[in-house]
Structure 1
């Protein structure tokens, strides 16, 4: 009969039933959640790495396992929050919209609703992010490409790709400025009305570009 051998876990591999990787992931999640709250309620210059660590209940050692510095933290948090927003918008659009209104109506109502329900995330995405000019411009181009992908469900491919892409970039930049103003004013008024206004702007601008 063969003798069974048991390999004992290395010291520090598991703790309270969680692996080292799980604990590291949980710490990162706490850091990100703390960053969203702090960057979403304070100006970027008023938030320090020590503030984030204190809110997340982690040491700086663990912070630097995941992020290079405060700027890197904001960059990565902004990217993840923007991905969360775009995912929600994409899910709101029908798979086979009949026209542009069936794209922009649900998409922009979803966008405003998500931002209104998560004001701290809204500030991280739209208010603190503009401090990172290179990142902001990259996000606008990424969002314009996202809009183009969603619009293809209703319009197909444009005849003049360059003119169309420039129109969508102008659209995303313009809508972003309206949203930034709304967030900076503490989100006043009826969110459904804002979504309708944004939809009207989008239809007016893109409607003329679908034939390009």
Structure 2
């Protein structure tokens, strides 16, 4: 009995990795390959075979994690957007009574993260077609995150609907400016862009203070 158990344990481990570790490693390789391919090509030019070849995994392993190519794109897009929001949130001061002091580091983090990670930037903002409904949903999610952060400076608002619409207008506007910046090769100064975005955000939100 112990011999059979030992064989089972050896079967679970290969090249120093457990089955769970190998599964997680394959998924990471697939999403990393997809990130690179979706950043450099249009969605229609990337096939499941391309992703598997880049990740060096068999197709059967791809379908253990993703239903199809669209499911992969949605997953990669969501993970990259979550990464960006986490970075912006981490940059926001824990406490701030001043709206400008709160907004400036958030916008600086947004632009810096995108500038330093152009592949992620393109996947989040550029090379994700056929996702208009998802894009709108993400704008609302982003607005909610920004709302939680800026309440440190603006406090609770009696006119909640006004605040929600202002935040939605803000994140939609910021997204369009960022898309324009990325599309032109990020040629303009990131610091200048962050300053401009902070100014736009302050202009929209200042009347709420």
TM bucket (normalised to shorter chain) is over 0.9
Provide TM-score, normalisation by structure 2.
0.95
Kept after mapping to 2: 8 A contact 1:129/1:136: no
Which structure has the highest helix share of the two? Answer: 2
Give the equivalent residue in structure 2 for 1:54: 53
Matched, 1:155 2:157: no
Q: Take 2:184 and 2:198, find their aligned partners in 1: how far apart are those partners?
A: 20
Higher mean C-alpha deviation, range 73-82 or range 150-159? 150-159
8 Å contact from structure 2 (residues 41, 127) kept in 1: no
| Alpha-carbon shift at residue 143 of structure 1 (Å) | 0.1
* 1:170 match: 169
- RMSD of the alignment, in Å? 1.5
2:6 is matched with which residue? Answer: 8
Flag structure 2 segments of 5+ consecutive residues without an equivalent: none
User: Does 1:91 find its partner at 2:78?
Assistant: no
Contact 1:122 1:183 in 2 (8 A): yes
**Quick check: 2:35–2:120 contact (8 Å CA) kept in 1?**
yes
Superposed, 1:41-120 pairs within 5 Å as 41-120=40-119
User: 1:24 aligned to 2:31?
Assistant: no
What is the total number of aligned residue pairs between the two structures?
207
* Closer, same or farther: CA 155–193 of 1 in aligned 2, 3 Å: same
Q: How far apart, in 2, do the equivalents of 1:83 and 1:48 lie?
A: 24
Determine helix, strand or coil for the equivalent of 1:94: coil
1:128 Cα deviation from its structure 2 partner: 2.2
Runs of 4+ in 1 over 4 A off after TM superposition: none
CA distance in 2, matches of 1:141, 1:68: 26
The answer as to whether partners of 2:43 and 2:129 remain within 8 angstroms in 1 is no
2: CA distance, partners of 1:105 / 1:12: 54
Q: Helix, strand or coil for the counterpart of 1:163? A: helix
Distance in 2 (alpha carbons) for counterparts of 1:149 and 1:14: 45
Query: Aligned pair in 2 of structure 1 residues 207, 130: CA closer, same or farther (>3 Å)?
Result: farther
User: What 5-or-longer segments of structure 1 have no aligned partner?
Assistant: none
Q: Which TM-score applies when normalising by structure 1? A: 0.93
Q: Which whole-Å CA distance do the structure 2 matches of 1:5 and 1:60 have between them? A: 35
**Residue 124 of structure 1: SS of its match in structure 2?**
helix
